[in-house]
Amino acid sequence: MTSQWKTQDKVFLITGGASGLGAEYVKIFLQLGAKSMAVLDIAEAVGKTFVASLNETYPGKAMFIKCDVSKEDEIKTAFQQVLDANKRIDVIINNAGIMNDAPNQWRTASDVNWQGLVSFTLKGMEHMRKDKGGAGGTIINISSIAALYKYPNLPIYCGAKMAVLHFGQTLSVPPFFDSTGVRVLTICFGPTLTPLMDNLTERSVDREFGEAYLKSVIDLSAIQRIESAVTAFVKMFKEGEPGSIWLSVKNKPGMDITSDINKTFDEFKMKWLA
């Protein structure tokens, strides 16, 4: 593990960091010695309360910025606020996400899950890249098992998460890291015991179809604990090679599945495009 992959004295920016898994990442990285944690979230009251509690334990190390990652102007403002406060950003965690394919929500969800993530990634790259005077850094994009598995009740969410996975692996093709010093990591979580697992029927692309599907496939024993997901996330941060893709499912240790993903793409290329 190189020194730049360590947590100590690093400045973090995390979207969707006020609650759920995002809040758990904030707490664990502060425990591991992060210098500063910028928590971005649309939930202002929750975020301010959370950051206030953090600063009781880690005085001055956490800041909250209200940011709707579906809105480009708010992304630009928040990113600059973090830079103004810290002079640099070492780690970006694109954690904000909405699992909602309902007719009145899917467009906003897609903006959050995909376009907001791309925007923060590109801004982070421009700031971090060594070939343009930056110090390097790490950008972590949250995908999902939905990128690797067909959930017919959530086709829009599945598509967005596959986009996140392919974006990360394509962006980081060598010699990207050698040139920029920016390590891009992608992690796919299986079903995890968070609010994202609540009221799935109402968040399906079609409620009637979604209810029938969920009754046939949901395996409660497969839903992993939050602690397992966080442990897998930290393992990836400490050990993940640039461009690697990780999997966290069923309370198992985090697994680097890059070779499996690459094999699938390579086999398709050899069979159909060679």
Widest Cα–Cα separation across the chain = 59
Stretch 79-98: mean pLDDT:
98
- Domain boundaries, given as residue ranges, for the chain: 3-273
Spatial separation of the C-alpha atoms in residues 72 and 243, rounded to whole Å? 26
pLDDT-derived band at 205 (thresholds 50, 70, 90) equals: confident
DSSP 130-185: GGGT---EEEEEE--GGGTS--TT-HHHHHHHHHHHHHHHHHT-TTHHHHH-EEEE
- Work out the average pLDDT over 95-103: 94
Nearest Cα residue to 192 out of 150, 251, 135: 251
Give the least confident one: 54-63, 188-197, 240-249: 188-197
Q: What is the strand order of the sheet 137-142 is part of?
A: 62-66, 36-41, 11-15, 91-94, 137-142, 182-189, 245-248, 255-256
CB atoms near residue 112 (< 10 Å): 23
Q: What's the pLDDT band for 206 if we cut at 50, 70, 90? A: confident
Concerning whether 58 is annotated as a catalytic residue, the answer is: no
User: Span 3-273: which CATH code?
Assistant: 3.40.50.720
CA distance 43 to 176: 35
pLDDT at 96: 97
Q: Are 226 and 21 in contact (CB under 8 A)?
A: yes
Structure tokens given for 17: 């960091």
Backbone angles phi, psi at 38, to 5 degrees: -95, 115
CA atoms within 13 A on the CB side of 119: 21
User: What gap in Å lies between CA 197 and CA 201, rounded to an integer?
Assistant: 10
Segment 59-78 mean pLDDT: 98
**pLDDT tens-digit profile of 121-133?**
999 999 999 999 9
pLDDT higher than 50, residue 1:
no
pLDDT averaged over every residue in the chain:
93
> Which is more confident, 207 or 273?
273
Q: What is the pLDDT of residue 222?
A: 77
Question: Distance between CA atoms of 38 and 27, rounded to whole angstroms?
Answer: 12
Total length of the chain: 274
- In this predicted structure, the answer to whether residue 225 has a pLDDT above a threshold of 90 is yes
Instruction: Judge whether residue 101 has pLDDT over 90.
Output: yes
d(CA 263, CA 166) in angstroms, rounded, equals 14
CA 261 vs. chain centroid, Å, equals: 18
Catalytic site residue from 25, 151, 157, 213: 157
- pLDDT, one tens digit per residue, over 38-61 is 999 999 999 999 999 999 999 999
pLDDT at 32: 97
153: confidence class by pLDDT, cuts 50, 70, 90: confident
Weakest-pLDDT range from 166-170, 203-207, 256-260: 203-207
Averaged over 71-100, what is the pLDDT? 97
Residue 172's pLDDT is 97
